[in-house]
């Protein structure tokens, strides 16, 4: 159990200390991943940036992810959920269009006019506050892989073993503090899992 995202970030940072001095880039999945990533970047004295990824929720049950959409138009689908949800192609196209606009808007909000940090030939540490299905982290991995990262590490405080295995097939390494056998949601592993405001997120990044 973590006190809050700062506590989770510090505990995760302890596991990532071998990266110090190797010029990694720490990439936060907003908004929950930002305070976690900020602690890691501070400990490693590394550059910190955001990597905007949006969950593609089933239209009639938005919390159920059937995929994720990342910057640069990267889309990752959970084929099982998408098939069972029976969402029409038209609804899928509309969802992707809407969330593409939202990814661009949030990237401008959080990064301003600055370009993404260059990850070419570097180790990219993709950070979130936890991973349930892993869809957003997978999308993040594919974005930074396409941008030229030499090595990708997914760092999350908590994730079920099935998700860790899925992420390990995409990333070069997965680092977690907790891998519980019983897992219902990320929030159950935090005493304080309150959401950040956009202003709080921007302050942590810059």
What's the CATH number where 170 sits? 3.40.50.2020
Residues 129 and 102 in one domain: no
Look at residues 64, 92, 110 and tell me which one is the last residue of a structural domain: 110
| Digit-coded pLDDT (tens) for 2-41 | 999 999 999 999 999 999 999 999 999 999 999 999 999 9
Using 50, 70 and 90 to split pLDDT, how confident is the model at 61?
Answer: confident
Residues 124 and 193 in one domain: yes
Average pLDDT over residues 39-66: 90
Domain assignment of residue 115, yes or no: no
Using 50, 70 and 90 to split pLDDT, how confident is the model at 59?
Answer: confident
What is the residue-wise DSSP string for the chain?
Answer: -BSSHHHHHHHHHHHHGGGTTS--EEEE-TTTHHHHHHHHHHHHT-EEEE--EEEEEETTEEEEEEEEEEGGG-EEE-HHHHHHHT--HHHHHHHHHHHHHHHHHHHHHHHTTPPPPP-BTSEEEEE-S--SS-HHHHHHHHHHHHTTBSEEEEEEEE--HHHHHHHHTTSSEEEEEE--SS-S-SGGGBS--PPPPHHHHHHHH-
Q: Is the pLDDT of residue 64 over 80?
A: no
- Quote the crossing angle between the two packed helices 198-205 and 33-44, to the nearest 10°: 10
Q: Where in the sequence is the domain holding 71, given as residue range(s)?
A: 54-110
| Digit-coded pLDDT (tens) for 119-160 | 999 999 999 999 988 889 999 999 999 999 999 999 999 999
pLDDT of 192 reads 97
Domain assignment of residue 60, yes or no: yes
What's the CATH number where 62 sits? 3.30.1310.20
pLDDT of 87 reads 82
Q: Is the pLDDT of residue 89 over 90?
A: no
| Digit-coded pLDDT (tens) for 150-198 | 999 999 999 999 999 999 999 999 999 999 988 989 999 999 999 989 8
Residues 35 and 132 in one domain: yes
Residues 33 and 60 in one domain: no
Residues 88 and 127 in one domain: no
Residues 96 and 185 in one domain: no
pLDDT of 169 reads 95
Domain assignment of residue 86, yes or no: yes
Q: What is the Cα–Cα distance from 176 to 158, expressed in whole angstroms?
A: 6
pLDDT of 82 reads 81
Q: Is the pLDDT of residue 84 over 90?
A: no
Residue 17 burial (C-beta neighbours within 10 Å; 0-12, 13-18, 19+): exposed
Domain assignment of residue 135, yes or no: yes
- The domain tally of the chain equals 2
């Amino acid at each position: 159990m973590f006190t809050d995202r700062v506590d989770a970030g510090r505990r995760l940072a302890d596991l990532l200390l071998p990266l110090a001095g190797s010029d990694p880039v720490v990439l936060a999945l907003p908004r929950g991943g930002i305070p976690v990533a900020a602690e890691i970047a501070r400990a490693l004295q590394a550059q910190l940036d955001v990597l905007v990824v949006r969950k593609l929720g089933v239209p009639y049950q938005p919390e159920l992810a059937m995929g994720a959409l990342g910057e640069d138009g990267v889309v990752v689908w959970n084929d099982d959920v998408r098939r069972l949800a029976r969402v029409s192609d038209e609804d899928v196209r509309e969802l992707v269009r809407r969330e593409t606009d939202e990814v661009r808007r949030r990237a401008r909000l959080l990064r301003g006019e600055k370009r993404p940090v260059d990850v070419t030939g570097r180790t990219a540490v993709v950070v979130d506050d936890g991973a349930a299905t892993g869809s957003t982290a997978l999308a993040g991995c594919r974005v930074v892989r396409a941008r030229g990262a030499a090595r990708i590490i997914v760092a999350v405080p908590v994730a079920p073993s099935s998700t860790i295995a899925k992420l390990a097939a995409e990333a070069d390494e997965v680092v977690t503090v907790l891998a519980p056998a019983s897992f219902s949601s990320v929030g159950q592993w935090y005493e304080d899992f309150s959401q950040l405001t956009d202003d709080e997120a921007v302050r942590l990044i810059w």
